[in-house]
């Protein structure tokens, strides 16, 4: 699995630090420098060893504070529903405690101190995020309220035990991925042609993951995606029995799917196979409905990820190039201008967006007074569709074929293939703050926005409503990254963002779409501060620096020039991949 994805705790003797572990979580870890990683993280199979942390049970004569410290330590093991942690509770509290009620994520190990003359012990710390009971992560903005919880005690056989544990578990931002695994649950995009990742965190052993993933699938999308996706595993489809692992496949037993038609069965199969294929020891999946094998035309009973590759949320043609602007013309990183008027500079281009099937262009071009958006066939004449004082770089909605942009820094506008442009409603957006950039995910289900005044913009991600006409659940996913100047989708569940600190420093980060992790991307090798960035799955990350284009395929290769600026000529800008 990639950086930021969960792993089970592997150290048994680190006491509190080992149990309160959440590496790479909640923005930039405050306790250590971010790790330089590949520019484009991926969600790969989970094949790491299943090493389990064994906490110490209660010891005779522990003080109240020692009981609390040991209880927090024991939260690092979810074995038997946090069986060791429950030993630090009274019998009544152990019976009532909901360890599956989510997690509170703190920046550092909490402060543990006596109160009320030692009768109570408080736990306090700076909260940076939380997990809800379904395993979905939410960031907490800096400067939020201090987390504090008071623990009360009772004596059981002469030993102190906690009588009122907080619901869920408490962790720090130094190691969530050592207790939890981050895996995607896949739902269907609005046009049902692609799957959409819904990241969840699971505190479980590997052998429990197939059942947990299936239950998450049947439970539906998270709140942040509910209005943007659909599912063929909704009401009436049940898990008839536990998922059965075989040597070369997983057998999934459902009820209620067989009568839903071929299209529904195909969509459901794609969801199941994409979700379970993250478990690296399961190369194939067999689905049964009411005891009978489910066979989909052209696929058969034994299904593999290759059978559903057409549902890839990140799919782009293999020969996809990067695009950029050179002296008002649209060029590709193959070193040639695009065919047609756009490649000859007819629109005085400032930026470009390309549809994921490479068939259509959207160009923002300079006018004598203001700018215009031109849309049309990639090799043909483009039509002026919108004018304004300023327009953000265009981005394509794969689900509808519409182009999105931001007009005059305040209005999100979508331009259909035919008909008038319309404003996109975004109820959670304060338009007085201003919008600096907009980028739609290639599956069409999420949108990334840079919100705020120049020099103080932060990254927001929202869901594109099922009608395609609104943005819902807009939230700041990496509030600790400030002064963001550019954003791009690296994959359906990760982004790359570029930040600055004054005139002399720029930093690049890869960020999980749920905000649960961020890792620094090296800028070593660039000739100057990068001013823009673009990325796409399976392709080199591109950056604009000193008027030239630079690329990085991985952190070991570093940045190399694609079209470095020479002798002040051919200053390139606005690099973009399709989407």
Judge whether residue 131 has pLDDT over 70.
yes
Judge whether residue 62 has pLDDT over 90.
yes
Q: What is the mean pLDDT of residues 320-331?
A: 96
HSE of 233, CA atoms in CB hemisphere, 13 A: 30
Rounded distance between C-alpha atoms, residue 549 and residue 324, angstroms: 9
pLDDT at 51: 54
- pLDDT per position as a tens digit, 241-259: 999 999 899 999 999 998 8
Confidence of residue 276 (pLDDT cuts 50, 70, 90): very high
Rounded distance between C-alpha atoms, residue 160 and residue 149, angstroms: 18
For the chain, which domains are there?
15-178 (no CATH), 181-311 (no CATH), 323-576 (2.120.10.30)
Query: What HEC string does 413-448 produce?
Result: EEECCCCCCEECECCCCCHHHCEEEEEECCCCCEEE
For the chain, how long is the longest CA-to-CA vector? 86
Classify the phi-psi angles of 26: left when phi > 0, otherwise alpha if psi is within -120 to 50, otherwise beta.
left
Identify the weakest region by mean pLDDT among 121-130, 227-236, 278-287, 397-406.
278-287
Judge whether residue 537 has pLDDT over 50.
yes
- Both tokens of 575, joined, read 């690099």
The DSSP 8-state label assigned to residue 178 in this structure reads: G
pLDDT at 557: 80
Instruction: Give the DSSP H or E segment for 251.
Output: strand 250-255
Rounded distance between C-alpha atoms, residue 35 and residue 159, angstroms: 43
Strand positions, DSSP E, 256-400: 285-289, 292-293, 302-303, 323-326, 329-332, 349-354, 360-366, 371-377, 383-388, 395-397
Residues 194 and 312: beta-carbon distance below 8 Å = yes
pLDDT at 161: 98
Rounded distance between C-alpha atoms, residue 301 and residue 519, angstroms: 40
- Both tokens of 357, joined, read 């099937």
- pLDDT per position as a tens digit, 218-238: 999 999 999 999 999 988 999
On the 0-12 / 13-18 / 19+ scale of CB atoms within 10 A, 397 is: buried
- pLDDT per position as a tens digit, 177-199: 778 899 999 999 988 899 999 99
Residue among 350, 381, 345, 375 at smallest CA distance from 361: 375
Judge whether residue 24 has pLDDT over 70.
no
Q: For tokens 């939020």, what's the residue?
A: 144
Q: Kindly report the average pLDDT of the chain as a whole number.
A: 88
On the 0-12 / 13-18 / 19+ scale of CB atoms within 10 A, 7 is: buried
pLDDT at 568: 66
Judge whether residue 493 has pLDDT over 50.
yes
Residue among 507, 228, 154, 68 at smallest CA distance from 220: 228
Rounded distance between C-alpha atoms, residue 375 and residue 420, angstroms: 13
Q: For tokens 């931001």, what's the residue?
A: 406
Q: In the chain, what are the helix, strand and coil shares in percent, each to the nearest 5?
A: 15, 35, 50
The DSSP 8-state label assigned to residue 351 in this structure reads: E
């Amino acid at each position: 699995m990639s950086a930021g994805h969960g792993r089970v705790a592997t150290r048994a003797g680190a006491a509190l630090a080992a149990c309160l572990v959440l590496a790479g979580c909640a923005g930039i870890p405050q306790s250590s420098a971010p790790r330089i990683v590949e520019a484009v993280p991926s969600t790969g199979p989970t094949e790491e060893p299943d090493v389990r942390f064994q906490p110490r049970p209660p010891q005779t004569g522990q003080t109240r504070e020692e009981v609390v410290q040991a209880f927090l330590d024991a939260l690092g093991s979810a074995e038997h529903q946090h069986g060791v942690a429950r030993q630090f509770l009274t019998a009544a509290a152990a019976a009532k405690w909901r360890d599956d009620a989510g997690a509170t994520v703190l920046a550092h190990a909490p402060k543990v101190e006596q109160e009320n003359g030692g009768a109570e012990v408080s736990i306090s710390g700076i909260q940076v995020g939380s997990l809800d009971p379904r395993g979905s992560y939410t960031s907490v903005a800096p400067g939020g309220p201090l987390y504090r919880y008071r623990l009360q005690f009772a004596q059981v056989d002469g030993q102190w035990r906690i009588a009122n544990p907080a619901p869920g578990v408490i962790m720090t931002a130094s190691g969530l991925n050592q207790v939890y695994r981050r895996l995607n649950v896949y739902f269907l995009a609005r046009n049902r042609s692609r799957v959409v990742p819904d990241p969840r965190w699971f505190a479980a052993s590997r052998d429990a993951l197939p059942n947990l993933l299936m239950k998450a699938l049947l439970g539906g999308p998270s709140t942040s995606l509910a209005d943007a996706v659909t599912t063929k595993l909704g009401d009436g489809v049940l898990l008839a029995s536990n998922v059965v692992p075989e040597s070369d496949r997983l057998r999934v037993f459902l009820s209620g799917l067989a009568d839903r038609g071929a299209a529904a069965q195909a969509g459901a199969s794609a969801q199941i196979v994409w979700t379970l294929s993250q478990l690296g020891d399961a190369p194939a999946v067999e689905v049964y409905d009411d005891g009978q094998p489910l066979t989909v035309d052209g696929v058969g009973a034994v299904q593999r990820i290759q059978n559903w590759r057409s549902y890839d949320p990140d799919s782009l043609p293999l020969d996809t190039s990067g695009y950029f602007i050179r002296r008002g013309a649209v060029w590709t990183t193959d070193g040639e201008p695009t065919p047609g008027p756009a490649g000859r500079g007819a629109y005085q281009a400032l930026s470009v967006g390309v549809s994921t099937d490479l068939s259509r262009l959207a160009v923002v071009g300079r006018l004598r007074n203001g700018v215009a958006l031109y849309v049309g066939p990639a090799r043909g004449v483009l039509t002026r569709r919108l004018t304004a004082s300023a327009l953000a770089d265009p981005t394509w909605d794969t689900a509808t074929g519409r182009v999105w942009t931001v007009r005059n820094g305040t209005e999100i506008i979508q331009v259909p293939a035919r008909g008038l442009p319309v404003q996109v409603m975004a109820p959670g957006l304060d338009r007085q703050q201003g919008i600096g950039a907009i980028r739609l995910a290639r599956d069409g289900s999420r949108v990334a926005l840079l919100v705020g005044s120049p020099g103080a913009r932060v990254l927001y991600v929202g869901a594109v409503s099922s009608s395609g006409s609104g943005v819902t659940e807009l939230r700041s996913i990496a509030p600790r990254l400030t002064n963001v100047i550019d954003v791009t989708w690296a994959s359906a569940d990760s982004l790359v963002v570029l930040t600055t600190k004054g005139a002399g420093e720029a930093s690049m980060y890869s960020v999980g779409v749920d905000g649960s992790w961020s890792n620094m991307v090296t800028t070593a090798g660039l000739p100057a501060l990068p001013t823009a960035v673009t990325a796409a799955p399976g392709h080199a990350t591109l950056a604009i620096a000193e008027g030239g284009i630079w690329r990085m395929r991985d952190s070991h290769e570093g940045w190399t020039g694609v079209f470095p600026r020479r002798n002040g000529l051919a200053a390139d800008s606005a690099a973009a991949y399709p989407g």
